[in-house]
A and B are shown apart, each in its own frame.
Chain A
């Protein structure tokens, strides 16, 4: 970011969505009603997706909306609605002082870490060359530029992740079945 020139249009949107995502994240942890909190989280996901698009990672941005906002949060809402915790004004906040304090300390530590990292010099072979995303996109399209490294260089990691997900699915099915058997 430092020293490079970006148009005002670009900078405005970058910081706009940055501020919106942080504000929504704060609203997410402070709202009492679980449904409202979930909606603020959806808003955070959206702003993050916009940031990805501004960083020339359209595919990641769309996946962010499709997977997190479109599928996972809908299931979250489903569960929260079924819990039916009552009217938002009547819900007491069960969190004590200590967890809030610990969370604040961890948050500040991570913020400091990000600040430090953004100021350190990055070795050339770790850094992505300038304009890499745009040239990849022009050559392979939005999906191809993600799919190529994923299915060539990182194939083993990808397959291992899929096994992990399969285990999680199988576990969910086993747990669901067990309750069903008890009910009968």
Chain B
């Protein structure tokens, strides 16, 4: 046990290490609390989604269970899903059909373990970091585990033995692989700036170097779009597009097995929001204060930082829902062209630019701080104007409502006439 305890604490050697017993007990407590908050949050998020959608569409939303607010609607949904009959299609391959929802659910739960959610808590047994598992590979662990989420969806689509489900699964694997690359590439500037891959280092770097949304604005936009695609949320919900594929990969699922897919989607949303906050919005760093990452730490600071972290995360969750009820779905060719022709080259060139700027600033002897951040911020302002105002012109970044060029339209039409099944898949 000492071995694992030492492994987990190797990332932050300046923290006084707690004893093995206290480490185990505090880790158990943190696990239980984080798990509970996470699951209750996912349940409340289903209610929030329906309430916000109703608000956006000028309806009432859920208003029967638990008073006018409909607060007990998630509980009623849960009970309903447990009571419903579990169906197994005759043609389905049963072992994988059962395994698929589990495989979708577990990666969604696992990734939240390495996200720091508060300032360290001083106790009699030493400083307790507010993170379930402080892995030395931190952020890479999140990338690795979240890349496994696609298995649940792909296998659900394949094992159902249903053509709509299979199409949904195939779309999802293509989409996730395409956007995973942009997602990984967009975070390389963040890692370059922090000089390490542990999320604690990234939060600390932002606490005194300014939030990365200013330092690395383009990376944030790429990450934001890729995170929407990775969580299969509109405008990227092609794997379950109702109008074309009935319900996509979960067409054949019922009851609690079906319910695990939306739950894992909401869990992924929470993780992605928390990750955006951690990578680009200072994590648990309290805004407009310095020194909250170096101490002296206190219980009040821990509490305040947790509240701040939750507030920032909630904003992005609201943003997710807001976008869902605002933007239409991409066409498949638009999805691929956005991912491969725009976001990947942009992310790659952004890495080169940022690496050059960091190298220049470091060799000019400018220390990390206000001056450093404002130069980076100025470079980013120029780049933002360049990318979004000059390069865009309503063609590259917003293809879902852009006018197609004549040759693109002709190509689409000829592809559609060649094969009725793969309409739109030209590239």
Contact = CB atoms under 8 A, between A and B. Distances in A.
Interface string A66-91: 10011100110110011000011000
B173 A74 contact: yes
B137 A62 contact: yes
A63 B176 CA distance: 18
Given A35-B96, A58-B135, A81 B180 contact: no
A36 interface: yes
B177 A75 contact: yes
Contact of B197 (A33, A74, A134, A143): A143
Contacts of A7: 1-3
Interface string B117-142: 00000000000000000011100110
A143 B180 CA distance: 20
A66 B177 contact: no
B366 interface: no
Interface string A131-160: 000100110011110000000000000000
A51 B159 CA distance: 31
A39 B170 CA distance: 17
Contact of A141 (B1, B2, B166, B197): B197
A17 interface: no
A48 interface: no
Nearest to A139: B13
Nearest to B3: A10
A36 B11 CA distance: 37
Nearest to A145: B136
B187 to A, nearest CB: 13
B7 A82 contact: no
A82 B137 CA distance: 35
A58 B177 contact: no
Interface bracket on B: 35 or more
Given A70-B180, A81-B166, A62 B93 contact: no
Contacts of A42: 151
A31 B180 CA distance: 30
B174 interface: yes
Contacts of A6: 3
B197 A81 contact: no
Interface string B1-19: 1111001001101000000
B144 A137 contact: no
B144 A82 contact: no
Interface in B1-54: 1-4, 7, 10-11, 13
Contacts of A87: 91, 93
A65 B145 CA distance: 8
Contacts of A66: 140, 143-144, 147
Contact of A62 (B141, B155, B173): B141
A59 B140 contact: yes
A39 B321 CA distance: 34
Contacts of A61: 137
B96 A39 contact: yes
A81 B174 CA distance: 13
Given A9-B4, A35-B96, A143-B137, A78 B148 contact: no
B136 A137 contact: yes
Interface residues of A, number: 36
A143 B201 CA distance: 13
A110 B120 CA distance: 50
A65 B3 CA distance: 22
B93 A142 contact: no
Contacts of B209: none
A141 B196 contact: yes
B62 to A, nearest CB: 37
A74 B143 CA distance: 15
B137 A58 contact: yes
A81 B148 contact: no
B272 interface: no
A66 B180 CA distance: 10
B23 to A, nearest CB: 13
A61 B145 CA distance: 12
Contacts of B169: 81
A69 B1 contact: no
29 contacts: A6-B3, A7-B1, A36-B95, A58-B135, A58-B137, A62-B141, A62-B144, A65-B147, A66-B143, A66-B144, A69-B144, A69-B148, A70-B143, A70-B144, A70-B180, A71-B147, A71-B180, A74-B151, A77-B154, A77-B158, A77-B173, A81-B154, A81-B157, A81-B158, A87-B93, A137-B136, A141-B11, A143-B197, A144-B196
Interface of A: 6-7, 9-10, 33, 35-36, 39, 42, 53, 56, 58-59, 61-63, 65-66, 69-71, 74-75, 77-78, 81-82, 87-88, 134, 137-138, 141-144
Interface of B: 1-4, 7, 10-11, 13, 91, 93, 95-96, 99, 135-137, 140-141, 143-145, 147-148, 150-151, 154-155, 157-159, 166, 169-170, 173-174, 176-177, 180, 196-198
Given A78-B154, A137-B10, 20 more contacts: A6-B3, A7-B2, A9-B3, A39-B155, A58-B135, A58-B136, A62-B144, A65-B145, A65-B148, A66-B140, A66-B144, A66-B147, A71-B177, A77-B154, A77-B173, A81-B169, A142-B136, A142-B140, A143-B137, A143-B140
